[in-house]
Amino acid sequence: MGVDRKVTFCRICEAHCGMVATVEDGAVTQLRPDREHPLSSGYACPKGIAMLDVQNDPDRVVHPLKRRAGGDGFDRVSWDDALADIGARLRAVRDRHGGEAIGWYMGNPGAFSYSHPLWVKGFLDALGSRHYYTASSQDVANRFAASALLYGCSALLPIPDLQRTDFLLVVGANPLVSHGSVLTAPRIKDQLHAIVGRGGRVVVVDPRRSETARAFEHVAVRPDTDAWLLLSLLHVIFAEGLEDWRALVHQTEGYGWLRDAAAAHPPEATEDRTGVPAQTVRALARDLAAAPSAAVYGRTGSCLGRFGTLVAFLLDSLNVVTGNLDAPGGWVFGRPAIALDEIAELAGLATYGKWRSRVGNFPEVLGAAPASLMHREIREPGPGQLRALLVSAGNPVLSVPDGAALQAALGELDLFVSLDLYVTETNRHADYVLPATTFLEREDLPIAFLGLYTTPFVQWTEPVVEPRGEARDEWEVVSALGDALGVSPLPTPQLRRLGRRLGKLVTPRRLVDLLLRTGPEGDWLGVRRRGLSLRRLRKAPHGVVVSQHIPTGVLRRKVRHPSGKVRLDPPEIRAEVDRLAASNGHDPAFPLRLIGLRELRSHNSWMHNAPLLMRGGRTHAARVNPADAERLGLADGGAARIVSPSGAAEVTVKVTDEMTEGTVALPHGWGHYGGWQVANAAGGVNSNVLASSRAEDLEPLAGMAFLNGIPVRLEAVDRAAPVEAAADAEPAPA
């Protein structure tokens, strides 16, 4: 068979770096960065290279597994037997409880496949089920909700114009480690340095002196107080007459309310809460307003507090008020070759609050409900109770608040099926674990990210290798389940109707080709000779730069409110400002605040089995400020117990002055006890036992989990006994 080099791209994180895979005798033997990729030009991070370890992992699930009757462990079964049994059991659930009793949780890697999410959502919609859960309610649903309120479209996601901006204000993101999120910008570190290089500034608001904060300017803030800080920035801008009047008049409605709301929060009144001195806030507001162009960007640090939708709304408001919305170097709308926001709108999928969750009464966001409430949806009887769950590309027992409650509830389902690469903490008791392909084994086009590229770009890849063992693409499994239930899983109602007639003719590949060809850069089915099509992309394996810059002046086309203007006074947000003003800070029993932390060589919960990333005896540790450590008698490398109102966990302490006093950081995605041996041996704890799954603790407008700023206390522990639980034992519920 010989040696082959295949051009592809990484789909672990949103940067989508170009990669070249060496394939020998049908197996990938090396991954290296693609020097000819127009954007990543020879860069890949350690995770991208280490995907080789996942691809070839001896612990990977490569055959369908069925849980052994009455006990632990799995037996290998054939796909035919697995699908026949799953189909029959799904039919039984539907006959008894209706299609609405069947649900799906799709985790983060699902978003990196162009076919997987479309087919899953179509399947549930065809069944009439609302039990659609994703990682978004732990990640970004607040951003979608804010877009619905501001722009009238939950699928519309503005991004910073990195290439041209003079001032980037980063609120709660660490792009030097995360490589950028809700924006796709390979080599983002270079892009940020380029801002400073051309005389601009990058200012990072973060409770931790993160890798990004250290490289640029740092404003230390207390966790979960960004709403106060942003209101004070707006206060200064309005009070000092620094707002862009033309922008407010032409682009917005309701700014009077925003100005009045900000008036109540001068920086002198919020500095005690935020920890940011009033003088710093005033200077920052003036500089932001005075910059020739500026973009205010927030990510998970701004999403996972108690006021995430309000914070996202205020971030965008700052962009509008300073005249930077839809302006070069500002806060802009990308130029996707397939305009998913417009298609979702047309297909009726760009929803927000169209219905509310059965448990907790939360508004749906893009068709999904809060994953934190899955355990209650399983356990609480009544019409619409969740009886059968499929989980694909997700590990919610580690990633969602209160994993212990979820794990217990999963055991009560009539049917629990997982599609994954591994036996994980979540699926170790599933009825079936079905082997999924890795991204190296499937064709793809980054359809969900095309509008987020800061340089408009599109790339297609064929599979690099055949699937290992019997692994299958998720969409094919969904299709088979659709057949078993007599429903079409095609992504929109229109297509589903067609699907009945066209049957198997509608494949993801044909669909994406059609969308590309009829899209803004398309060949319009032959009318435009240089336009895009799959054929054309296949001839450009390193991808195609669609335009050098993001075009601006598109706001009218993007905004869906009847007025065509950005709405700055939605009633939902007004209520949130009132709730903020009434919120109390301090429970003396929990004086510290817990936040998360992402590490360069971890990726959520799923790359801790890659030996390349775990070299050097990496361990899981909570970062604690020296003053806190001293006061509490904690030693570097020693043990401590973190106690929150929801749970407790014993951790190793790392004392570091990168933490602001009063804040503790603990990475999520550790504490393994699945089928991954290297990961299990690495120890650590599930940080989300400390998070609350109570409906009262979720953010009301988007059902977001409260994961950053959790009130905690730290207690010193005398480490006589080993901290790490035995490798494959399940930790006792906290």
Question: Is 12 a binder of ligand SF4 (CB under 6 A)?
Answer: yes
Q: Which of residues 335-394 bind ligand SF4 (CB under 6 A)?
A: none
User: Collapsing DSSP states into helix, strand and coil, what is residue 319?
Assistant: helix
- Residue selected from 53, 139, 226, 425 as contacting Mo ion according to rule CB under 5 A: 139
Span from 40-48, 326-334, 489-497, 549-557 in contact with ligand SF4 (CB under 6 A): 40-48
Alpha-carbon span 243 to 325, nearest angstrom: 13
Mention every residue, 6+ apart, whose C-beta is less than 8 A from residue 236.
Answer: 242, 266, 267, 281, 282, 285, 286
CA-to-CA separations, 3 to 21, 22, 648, in angstroms, rounded: 10, 7, 52
Span from 117-125, 137-145, 244-252, 635-643 in contact with Mo ion (CB under 5 A): 137-145
Alpha-carbon span 83 to 578, nearest angstrom: 51
User: Collapsing DSSP states into helix, strand and coil, what is residue 224?
Assistant: coil
The residue type found at 63 is H
Q: Pick what 15 binds: Mo ion, ligand MGD, ligand SF4, none; C-beta below 5 to 8 Å, kind-dependent.
A: ligand SF4
Q: Pick what 10 binds: ligand MGD, ligand SF4, Mo ion, none; C-beta below 5 to 8 Å, kind-dependent.
A: ligand SF4
- Residue selected from 7, 20, 23, 45 as contacting ligand SF4 according to rule CB under 6 A: 45
- Residue selected from 28, 44, 150, 705 as contacting ligand SF4 according to rule CB under 6 A: 44
Residue for token pair 């993160």: 210
Question: Is 48 a binder of ligand SF4 (CB under 6 A)?
Answer: yes
The residue type found at 671 is G
Alpha helix positions (H), 152-240: 175-178, 188-197, 211-215, 226-239
Do residues 297 and 183 lie in contact, with contact meaning Cβ atoms separated by under 8 Å? yes
Alpha-carbon span 198 to 691, nearest angstrom: 42
Question: Minimum Å distance from CB 597 to ligand MGD?
Answer: 6
- Residue selected from 17, 54, 303, 388 as contacting ligand SF4 according to rule CB under 6 A: 17
Question: Minimum Å distance from CB 223 to Mo ion?
Answer: 18
Cβ distance to Mo ion smaller for residue 178 or 625:
178
Cβ distance to Mo ion smaller for residue 425 or 431:
425
Question: Minimum Å distance from CB 48 to ligand SF4?
Answer: 2
272-286 b/e (C-beta count within 10 Å ≥ 16 → b)? ebbbbebebbbebbe
- The residues that touch ligand MGD, with contacts defined as CB under 6 A, are 13, 107-109, 135, 138-139, 171-175, 177-179, 181, 205-208, 210, 221, 223-224, 226, 299-302, 305, 392-396, 399, 419-422, 424, 436, 438-439, 474, 595-596, 598, 600, 602-606, 668-669, 687-688, 691, 707-709
Question: Is 14 a binder of Mo ion (CB under 5 A)?
Answer: no
Question: Is 598 a binder of ligand SF4 (CB under 6 A)?
Answer: no
72 Rama sector, left if φ>0, alpha if ψ -120 to 50, beta otherwise: beta
Mention every residue, 6+ apart, whose C-beta is less than 8 A from residue 723.
Answer: 639, 650, 651, 652, 683
Question: Minimum Å distance from CB 392 to Mo ion?
Answer: 16
Full strand arrangement of the beta sheet holding 3-9: 3-9, 18-24, 27-33
Do residues 622 and 712 lie in contact, with contact meaning Cβ atoms separated by under 8 Å? no
Q: Pick what 16 binds: ligand MGD, Mo ion, ligand SF4, none; C-beta below 5 to 8 Å, kind-dependent.
A: ligand SF4
Q: Pick what 451 binds: ligand MGD, ligand SF4, Mo ion, none; C-beta below 5 to 8 Å, kind-dependent.
A: none
Which tokens go with 631? Answer: 């006061």
Residue nearest to ligand MGD (CB): 301
Q: Pick what 423 binds: ligand SF4, ligand MGD, Mo ion, none; C-beta below 5 to 8 Å, kind-dependent.
A: none
Question: C-alpha 537: how far from its chain's center?
Answer: 27
Question: Minimum Å distance from CB 481 to ligand MGD?
Answer: 14
Binding site for Mo ion (CB under 5 A): 139
Binding site for ligand SF4 (CB under 6 A): 10, 12-13, 15-17, 44-45, 47-48, 179
